[in-house]
Amino acid sequence: MNKTEFDELLIAVGINQNPNLYARLFWLFDMNGDGVIDQKELLTVLEWFKENSFEERLKSNFWRGC
């Protein structure tokens, strides 16, 4: 899934249209930085989100280097 498809998916599931949020989430999912989210990356991130608390996810993804 490329960036445009990812943005369309977020819109379809009802996530507010916020380009900064979309870019950050795409960066998070695109682990190897190739500009595409493949099935392995998608499943890895979804599993990680399922296993960690909301606070742990925020700390590791949005407060890096703070």
The pLDDT confidence band at residue 26, using thresholds 50, 70 and 90, is very high
- How many domains are there within the chain? 1
Query: Which structural domain range is residue 17 located in?
Result: 3-62
DSSP, residue by residue, 15-43: ----HHHHHHHHHHH-TT-SSB--HHHHH
Q: Is the pLDDT of residue 66 over 50?
A: no
> pLDDT averaged over the chain?
81
Q: What is the pTM of this model?
A: 0.65
Whole-number pLDDT of residue 42: 86
Whole-number pLDDT of residue 49: 66
Question: Quick one: how many helices (H) and strands (E) in the chain?
Answer: 4, 0
| Residue 4, CA distances (Å) to 18, 40, 54, 56 in order | 13, 19, 26, 28
Q: Rounded to an integer, what distance in angstroms lies between the CA atom of residue 39 and that of residue 55?
A: 26
